[in-house]
Structure 1
Amino acid sequence: MASRTTFEELPPRVRAAIAFHTGRIHCADPVSSGLNSQLAVRLRCEAGDVHVKGLRSDHDRVWTQRREAEVNPFLKGISPELLWREEVDGWDVLGFDFVSGHHADYRPRSQDLSCVADLLTRLGEVELPSIELREAGQRLGNYVSDRSQLELFEGESLLHTDLNNENVLVQDGHAYLVDWAWATRGAPWLDAGYWVMWLLAAGKHTVEQAEGWARRIPSWEAATPMALDAFASANARMWREIGGAQPDAWTSRLVRASRDWSEYRQKLVEK
């Protein structure tokens, strides 16, 4: 988690560069989500509300700002529009169209689930952009039981890879994906697979129900049983390592969810 800087604490030149785009700023409201940003704020401005996120230029993850700026033009209607980017006085700052929706509710019977399934369907129709992207195998390379399994995750689809419900905003029945720092190239079904784990982490979904929601996404059909088995197993290993001996409450949900899915897939193999 990055330490937070308030809007008022920004250097004057940074605030002036932002105001050049927004016009007069009436109010700056801190945003609690987006824990990887040193600056996360809703600006109520003369030109309309803007979501601003930023990192200091010497931060070891400042590259994520560039990644988000590069991928955003390809995500019309899928992610809030990037309005501007400023690199000034030691800061890299992005300004996005503000979406006033709520974080998606992943619990069973939530009306948001259909919105998210539609969102992932629309994402699956986006052509892979010619920009630098991480490869899906990079995320899971240390957690597969056999390196040859990484071929199962390869593909030419644009992926988000972090389906945390706080990265999904729902406004008027339309879902948006935010925080594209980990945009990835890989197999088309992988985001649906990541969604399965987050549905399980939300509680009260059975694995069958979670996979049922993933099945509504056309790209899921491209996933072979072998690929799903390997993916679930690799994620279980990854989250077990992240959690360590005493995982916190937030991480424990993902440890349990990934373990439950992996065990379910293993039982299918054994039948």
Structure 2
Amino acid sequence: MRARVEELLGGHVTEAVTQTGGFSPATAARLLLDTGRRAFVKAVAPGVNDVAVSLYRDEARVAAALPPGLPAPRLLTSFELDGWVVLLFEDIDGRPPAMPWRRDELDRVLAAVDELSATLTPAPIAAPPIAELLGQSFRGWRLLLTEDQDGLDPWITRHLAALAELESGWERAAAGNTLVHADLRADNVLLTDERVYIVDWPYACLGAPWFDRLGMLPSVAMQGGPRPGELLTDPDPAVTCVIAAFAGFFVRQSRQPPPPGIPTVRAFQAAQGEVAVDWLRERTGWS
């Protein structure tokens, strides 16, 4: 695999710096070649996490189709070898946002997200509807109706049937013709002095133009940023419906065993779930 990477990049790798962060059980490294060329490689091995292998294939397909000029790293090439799925991107000399969030950086990122949503409306590439991509995931409250409810927040238990009903309308509420990233968090953002780059696009789909801003706000609050209600004030009931879907997803997923190779993701989901539930409590006004 390493020899194939060097063949495709036209030189020998003299330095590989592992990039930390995110929730993928795979290799991610910035490469320097003896030719002076730089590139970024991400590669997932077989037998660790089958979902990750599928996501890397999806990301390769989406990244190859994204139009030039978007604030997303350009895919150089991708290949599969002995069960590995390998993606090679242009190297972005950037850094993740500081944690906890700094307001100036957050404002930059949110402005970039809004601008990107406008640019991607209508979607410039073929992509599945958001309901098709996330329909099986955004059923958290409905699934919890039939599962063990020990340890749930009393407010959730008291309103679980109503939450399940509210969640059930999220597919219609989130529909749209914008190409959305659908997995936007600080670990999928790179900052340079001139630009905000959005990375990791395996979940790209068609949805409402506000979906990406909404989806990243629970993680913003749990990582030291403002509360979601301060950053998205649209009173549209459709927004409340999608918040309910996110909250149900985070809460239920946080109660599941960790997926293979990703031991920390459940705690991250639980923290986002707390924020999303508080936001939902504010939006609904339910006591």
TM-score (norm: length of structure 2): 0.75
Paired residue total: 246
The aligned counterpart of 1:250 is: 268
Q: Measure how far apart 1:121 and its partner are.
A: 2.3
Determine which of 53, 56, 71 is the counterpart of 2:45.
56
| Correspondence 1:73-222 to 2 at 5 A | 73-74=65-66, 76-105=69-98, 107=100, 109-124=102-117, 125-126=119-120, 127-133=122-128, 135-136=130-131, 138=135, 139-143=137-141, 144-146=164-166, 147-203=168-224, 205-211=226-232
Q: Measure how far apart 1:164 and its partner are.
A: 1.6
SS in 2 for 1:102: coil
Q: Which residue identity lines up with residue 82 of structure 1 in the other structure?
A: L
Q: Which residue identity lines up with residue 189 of structure 1 in the other structure?
A: W
SS in 1 for 2:176: coil
SS in 1 for 2:240: helix
SS in 2 for 1:172: coil
**C-alpha separation between the residues in 2 aligned to 1:64 and 1:134?**
17
**C-alpha separation between the residues in 2 aligned to 1:245 and 1:79?**
32
The aligned counterpart of 2:59 is: 68
Judge conservation of contact 2:114–2:213 (CA < 8 Å) in 1: no
SS in 2 for 1:241: helix
**C-alpha separation between the residues in 2 aligned to 1:265 and 1:254?**
16
Judge conservation of contact 2:256–2:266 (CA < 8 Å) in 1: no
Q: Which ranges in structure 2 are unaligned for 5 or more consecutive residues?
A: 142-163, 258-264
* 2:225 is the counterpart of 1:233: no
When residues 173 and 107 of structure 1 are mapped into structure 2, their CA distance, relative to the original with a 3 A threshold, is farther
The aligned counterpart of 1:16 is: 3
TM-score (norm: length of structure 1): 0.79
Q: Measure how far apart 1:107 and its partner are.
A: 4.8
When residues 134 and 60 of structure 1 are mapped into structure 2, their CA distance, relative to the original with a 3 A threshold, is farther
**C-alpha separation between the residues in 1 aligned to 2:102 and 2:127?**
38
**C-alpha separation between the residues in 2 aligned to 1:162 and 1:57?**
23
When residues 206 and 149 of structure 1 are mapped into structure 2, their CA distance, relative to the original with a 3 A threshold, is closer
Judge conservation of contact 1:34–1:40 (CA < 8 Å) in 2: no
The aligned counterpart of 1:33 is: 21
Q: Which residue identity lines up with residue 63 of structure 1 in the other structure?
A: S
Deviates more, 1:98-107 or 1:165-174: 98-107
**C-alpha separation between the residues in 2 aligned to 1:244 and 1:123?**
34
**C-alpha separation between the residues in 2 aligned to 1:183 and 1:242?**
21
SS in 2 for 1:203: coil
Q: Measure how far apart 1:134 and its partner are.
A: 5.5
RMSD: 2.7
The higher-RCO structure (CA 8 Å, 6+ apart) is: 2
When residues 252 and 242 of structure 1 are mapped into structure 2, their CA distance, relative to the original with a 3 A threshold, is same
The aligned counterpart of 2:147 is: none
Q: Which ranges in structure 1 are unaligned for 5 or more consecutive residues?
A: 1-13, 213-222
SS in 2 for 1:256: helix
The aligned counterpart of 1:42 is: 30
Identity rate of aligned residues, in percent? Answer: 24
